[in-house]
Structure 1
Amino acid sequence: MSVQELAEAVGVTPRAVRHWEAGTRAVGDRAFGRLLEVLRCGAQDLTGRDPGTESLADLRRDAGMSTEQAAAVLRRKRGTQDLHFSAEKIRDLERGRRVRGWVWGSPETLGRVVRMLAQVYRVPDRVVMDAWRRSRPDTPLPVLPARSIRQPSRESMAAWSALNDRQRTYLTCIFHQDQEAEEEQRHARSVGAEQRPAVEWRRMTLALSAPSDAVGYTRIQERLREAGVHDPGAGSSVAALERRGLIVVYRDRVYINGLGDMPRTRVEMTRHGRAVARTALGIPREAGPSAPLLSLWLWKIVVRVARAGTKGVDGSLAGRGPHYLAVGQSPDGRTPSRGFIVLRHPDGVTHGPYRWFLTDSGQRHITDHLDAYQTLYPSLDTEGVNDSSD
């Protein structure tokens, strides 16, 4: 892009762009978010800031808002009259200063503010909570309001109503097998067993084109037979579910001793399919731990790194945990990591292997929530994890 093209796309003058490129003037808050959109990049590409280190001011700038704009949007939200949002209060929040107004001293009120900022900046609650603790480490911990229970969507209810009895039976049996596979993976993770990629265990064998007396029945076929479907195959019912976007069907061949290569049909539920099944069966989706708490899997990693103290943990930490926890990482390429661990040399060492260490944010998270974790995951030994900074 030329200077003129970039200036027009961002909504500034060419002179402003020249100042940015020369380093003689910083990008303003209002232009920063638009610049990210135009250049199709992340904030770290322009600032050098690693994901997982964001402050409240960083989140606002990433959203392309000045303090005046953020305050104006917040004032328009329902239920904010008692908070009297202003640009000055936004700046006080970001700089760790006391915010004027007696109501701002309540942890519950601060939790409401966190929830509103997350909505305005279009990031998850946990991202704002982490940035809040980096920006305001010495203020009371916000208490997030409980989320209301989500009601079944009309779309899911309509999709279930459109199925005939046989199609509903197939979807129900496939869903139950999907949930069983998911529970098996959770158990394997909890005992530290090797993890299989979801792309493998989510694809479940529905049928083998081979005599049942030679290969038996698959788990889904057994469920179908228990439900009264005694000729489970991969016919019109499965095709109908796939057309409606409830499952994905895969067909390949698998070698069976004594029979050779045999055709195989596998199925995988889509998110829409799970939502429809949960709606029909009255099964609420597991909410998991409330923000900003971690799942058991991620909490185990933090505990392990915390216990290692100044020795650190081997840099080859397996799995996707670092994508969710480590400075400079992101679980999905958009949302920043929690920033609780960092890969670096041990203190006083300038060469050799890197190791994982707890960050200040990670240690603060432990201090803030250790009691809650001990209640949530009582079987996990956390003795000594809050002394890792000693």
Structure 2
Amino acid sequence: MTALKIRGLERDRRVEGWAWRNPVALGRFVQELASVYQAEIRTVVDAWMRSRPHDAAPDLPLPRSRPPSERTYDAWGALNEQQRACLEQVYREDQMTEVEVWLQRRHQMVLPPADQWRRLPLQVKAPTDLIEKPRLQQRMRELGLDTAKALILIRQLTGLVEIVHDSIETGDSGPCGRVCVVLTRQGRAAARSGLGEPRQKAPPAHLLSRWHWSQLLRVADAGSEGIADSRMTTKARFFLGVGYRPGGKHPGRGFIDTQPLRDTSGAVVDYMWTITELGKRHVLAYAHLYQVLYPDVELPSMTENHTSRTNRLE
């Protein structure tokens, strides 16, 4: 399938083709459609699955993992032993914070933007009885570095780590100054390559992030009863819901929708989110890929086999 053939189809001409029901061929087809119409791949995939419910789901392979670049290797290789140890501790703290944020999101907690929570406190200028010592400060002390020596080392990691000065509230004592460390993308990549840790794969364009996938499973697992609107995070329902345009840019995926919940008098008391037919198709068609991407995200009884998953969703 090429752009020339698509143009022929639009002009009502007969076009030669084969393997139209092959998922891999359909995957190449939707990629060509997205290119010709300058649309996002996820939009074309959703439209295909919504309008052709009896056809196979397009199969778009997971992106291949790429080895670290020479620039990344050089950045790590240019560091001495002490600088590498310092960068490793900053990287470990960054990854621990990332896991904590993900767990908090799963519990519906409101979080600041990433440029805030990725600030790793190294020093808080407040009495020790008011606030605990930052974890990163303790990590540096395990390396035999006090805060002053750690800051000297961190300043040497140009382009890999940044130092940010801000303040936080500590109750009645008012704002207290804070020294934070921010790991840059280049620093994260250098640490991964030096420590031999693979880079986390980003999901393909038609698949969901870890967070949105877990939210879709919540709604799917609730079945026909659904989940109350008050228990759905704003960003998740805007991105997954029918008829939404978060930020006025891209429409929601249409995987979940609201149904009014009425009392005995017929008055609406709440709105319940339930999974749509398109959402069901997406879960059943791509659950195997999500298991590769996010093996730690539990897939309930839907993953036992295709039949049990279909019964569960229906």
**Unaligned segments of structure 2, at least 5 residues:** 303-307
What letter corresponds to residue 136 of structure 1 in structure 2? R
Q: Does 1:301 align with 2:220?
A: no
- Cα displacement (A) at 1:176: 0.9
Aligned partner of 1:315 in structure 2 is 229
TM-score by length of 2: 0.72
Partner of 1:269: 183
Q: CA deviation at 1:128?
A: 3.4
| CA positional deviation for 1:365 | 1.9
**Which residue number corresponds to residue 7 of structure 2?**
87
TM-score normalised according to structure 1 size: 0.60
The one of 196, 211, 225 equivalent to 2:141 is 225
Equivalent residue in structure 2 for 1:150, among 61, 66, 81: 66
Structure 2 counterpart of 1:325: 240
CA distance in 2: counterparts of 1:351 and 1:227, whole angstroms = 61
1:362 aligns with 2:276: no
Q: Give secondary structure in 1 for the equivalent of 2:95.
A: helix
Query: Residue in 1 aligned with 2:300?
Result: 381
Q: String of CA shifts for 1:245-302, please: whole Å, max 9, x gaps.
A: 6435133266499x99653212232333323322333322222666645455434433
Q: 1:333 to 1:152 in 2, by over 3 A?
A: farther
CA distances 1:52-76 after superposition (whole Å, capped 9, x unpaired): xxxxxxxxxxxxxxx9xx815xxxx
Distance of 1:287 and 1:120 partners within structure 2: 27
- The amino acid that maps onto 2:95 is Q
What is the CA deviation profile of residues 9-66 of structure 1, one whole-angstrom value per residue up to 9, with x for unaligned ones? Answer: xxxxxxxxxxxxxxxxxxxxxxxxxxxxxxxxxxxxxxxxxxxxxxxxxxxxxxxxxx
Say what the alpha-carbon RMSD is for the aligned residues: 4.3
Bigger-Rg structure (1/2):
1
Percent of aligned pairs sharing the same letter: 37
Superposition deviation, residue 388 in structure 1 = 7.0
The yes-or-no answer on 1:71 pairing with 2:7 is: no
**Stretch deviating more after TM superposition (208-217 or 119-128):** 208-217
Give the aligned residue type for 1:87.
R
For the structure 1 residues 314 and 124, does the alpha-carbon distance in structure 2 shift closer, same or farther, using more than 3 Å as the test? same
Bigger Cα displacement from structure 2, 207-216 vs 110-119: 207-216
1:224 touches 1:232 (CA, 8 Å); kept in 2? Answer: no
Tell me, yes or no, if structure 1 residue 238 matches structure 2 residue 170. Answer: no
Matched, 1:174 2:174: no
Taking a change above 3 Å as real, the CA distance of residues 325 and 248 of structure 1, as seen in their structure-2 partners, is: farther
Equivalences, count: 301
Q: Which one-letter code corresponds to 1:285 in the other structure? A: R
2:256 to 329, 341, 357: 341
Alignment of 1:8-19 (within 5 A): none
Q: Which residue of the partner structure matches residue 251 of structure 1?
A: 166
Q: Partner of 1:202 in structure 2?
A: 118
**The residue matched to 1:320 in structure 2 has which SS?**
helix
Q: What is the CA–CA distance in structure 1 between the aligned matches of 2:104 and 2:278, rounded to whole Å?
A: 29
CA distance in 2: counterparts of 1:203 and 1:278, whole angstroms = 19
Counterpart residue number, 2:99? 183
In 1, the alpha carbon distance for the partners of 2:313 and 2:169 equals 53
Moved more, 222-231 or 132-141: 222-231
Instruction: Return the alpha-carbon distance in structure 2 between the equivalents of residues 356 and 193 of structure 1.
Output: 16
